[in-house]
Chains A and B, each alone.
Chain A
Amino acid sequence: MNSLIRLYPPEWRRRYGSELAELAADSPGWRTRVDLVRGALDAWTRSPGGDQVAQRLTRLAAVLMVLPLLFLGINLANEVTGSESHILDALFRSPLGEWLVVLSPFVALALVLLPGVRINFDRQQSEPAITIAIHLGRFQILILAAAALTALAFLVYAFFENYVPRAG
């Protein structure tokens, strides 16, 4: 059971860990194990510490969005002005760089949304099986919109141009 209690955020563990361990030891079994894992998920996403994790993930998503936005911006500018800029050519000559740009918006979307995913295991409640509840500050809205629009742009491009990033 102690290994499952280690899944909880450190701050939460310091506060409730010993009491939780005592109760968990009293009722060993797979139900308790599942309950502890669910509790750990809740603790990470709902506690003040969980909010910090969500904020860190949003900041990471923002960093990930730099390259794809730069890529889209340069291409859009090239289309509008009719000129050709080759600033990012070196990056896109490598398959790794190409994959990085294409996948980043999808990863960024997941990073912003995942901390807010709630799975309703309790069939007695009439809530939907899965809901997403994220704190939408201006920064989150900005990153979410940028990631969603960029991902959509890549999907539309891939669909109409039969584009697949190089395998290597």
Chain B
Amino acid sequence: MELGRFSEVGLLIMVGLADGPKHGYALMEEVEWLRGDRPGPGTLYGAIARLEQDNLIEAMPEQDRRRPYRLTGAGRTALAAELASLQRVVTKGKARLASS
């Protein structure tokens, strides 16, 4: 998953979509909750555009003038791989901290 400066927000968007489709405003709130501060709208939609371009997420038909997004199959696989990789880092990091 190569998203340049959108990597962090991109990952958090995918985490936000893991339990079902969401529109832009809900995704902004998800990212804010996950990382503690609100991403700018340009950053959020830059990441959404890149994820969509890479076929990791897709737009659904508009509902109430808002377009929800959802994870694609490839997105779900990429997210699982990314989280497994992070999990290894967390496990290793905690073990090393505990042993020092």
Contact = CB atoms under 8 A, between A and B. Distances in A.
Interface in A1-42: 12, 15-16, 18-20, 22-24, 26-27, 31-32, 34-40, 42
A46 B4 contact: yes
Nearest to B48: A16
Counting chain A residues whose Cβ lies within 8 A of the other chain, the interface size class is: 20 to 34
A32 B49 contact: no
Interface stretch (B36-44, B78-86, B88-96): B36-44
Nearest to A47: B49
Counting chain B residues whose Cβ lies within 8 A of the other chain, the interface size class is: 20 to 34
Interface in B19-60: 23-25, 28, 38-46, 48-50, 53
A131 B69 CA distance: 31
Given A46-B50, A47-B49, A47-B53, A23 B25 contact: yes
Contacts of B38: 27
Contacts, number: 72
A20 B42 contact: yes
Main DSSP-derived SS at the A contact region: helix
A32 B40 contact: yes
Given A19-B67, A22-B24, A48 B43 contact: no
B25 A40 contact: no
Nearest to B6: A42
Give the interface centre of B4, B23, B65, B66 by most chain A CB atoms within 10 Å.
Answer: B4
Give the interface centre of B25, B41, B53 by most chain A CB atoms within 10 Å.
Answer: B41
10 contacts: A16-B45, A16-B49, A19-B24, A19-B67, A32-B41, A32-B42, A39-B42, A39-B46, A40-B42, A118-B4
Given A35-B39, A47-B49, 4 more contacts: A19-B23, A20-B42, A36-B41, A43-B49
Interface of B: 4-6, 23-25, 28, 38-46, 48-50, 53, 65-67
